[in-house]
Amino acid sequence: MMFKPYPWHEPLWQQLLARIRGGTLPHALLFTGGNGIGKRDFAIQLGQLLLCETYQADPAAHTIPCGHCQACALNKAATHPDFKMVEPESAGKIISVDQIRELAAYLGLKSHYGLGQVAIIHPAEKMNKFAANSLLKTLEEPTADSLIILVTSQPSALLPTIRSRCQQVVFQQPAEDDALPWLRENWLRDNAARRDDADIRAMLHLANGGPLEALSYLHNNSRTLVEALLKSFINLTLGHADPVTVAKAWAETDVGSLSKWLILWTCYMIRLKYDAQQPDIYSVGEHSLKKLATAVDLVALFRFLDKLTETRRLLDSQANTQLLLEDLLISWLQLSSNRSKQ
Ligand SMILES: [Zn+2]
CA of 18 to the centre of ligand 1 (A): 19
Composition of the chain by helix, strand, coil, percent to 5: 60, 10, 30
CA of 135 to the centre of ligand 1 (A): 30
CA of 60 to the centre of ligand 1 (A): 14
CA of 67 to the centre of ligand 1 (A): 5
Say what the pLDDT of residue 312 is. 87
Distance (Å, rounded) from C-alpha 211 to C-alpha 223?
15
What count of other Cβ atoms lies within 10 Å of the Cβ of residue 219?
13
Distance (Å, rounded) from C-alpha 331 to C-alpha 122?
33
Strand order in the sheet with 117-121: 83-86, 117-121, 146-152, 28-33, 167-171
Distance (Å, rounded) from C-alpha 170 to C-alpha 75?
25
Q: Would you say 163 and 135 are in contact if contact means Cβ atoms under 8 Å apart?
A: no
CA of 243 to the centre of ligand 1 (A): 56
In SS3 terms, 61-123 reads as HCCCCCCCCHHHHHHHCCCCCCEEEECCCCCCCCECHHHHHHHHHHHHCCCCCCCCEEEEECC
Q: How confident is the prediction along the chain (342 residues), in pLDDT tens digits per residue?
A: 556 889 999 999 999 999 999 988 999 999 999 989 999 999 999 999 999 999 999 999 999 999 999 999 999 999 999 999 999 998 778 999 999 999 999 998 889 998 999 999 999 999 999 999 999 999 998 887 899 999 999 999 999 999 999 999 999 999 999 999 999 999 888 777 666 788 888 889 889 899 999 999 998 888 889 999 999 999 999 999 999 999 999 999 988 889 989 999 999 999 999 999 988 888 888 889 999 999 899 999 999 999 999 998 888 776 789 999 999 999 999 999 865 444
CA of 13 to the centre of ligand 1 (A): 17
CA of 75 to the centre of ligand 1 (A): 9
Task: Work out the burial of residue 98: count CB atoms within 10 Å of its CB; fewer than 13 is exposed, 13-18 middle, 19 or more buried.
Answer: exposed
CA of 69 to the centre of ligand 1 (A): 4
Instruction: Give the CATH number of domain 7-171; options: 3.40.50.300, 3.30.365.10, 3.60.15.10, 3.30.390.10.
Output: 3.40.50.300
CA of 3 to the centre of ligand 1 (A): 12
Return the CATH class of domain 223-341. Answer: mainly alpha
SS3 332: helix
Distance (Å, rounded) from C-alpha 44 to C-alpha 41?
5
Say what the pLDDT of residue 188 is. 86
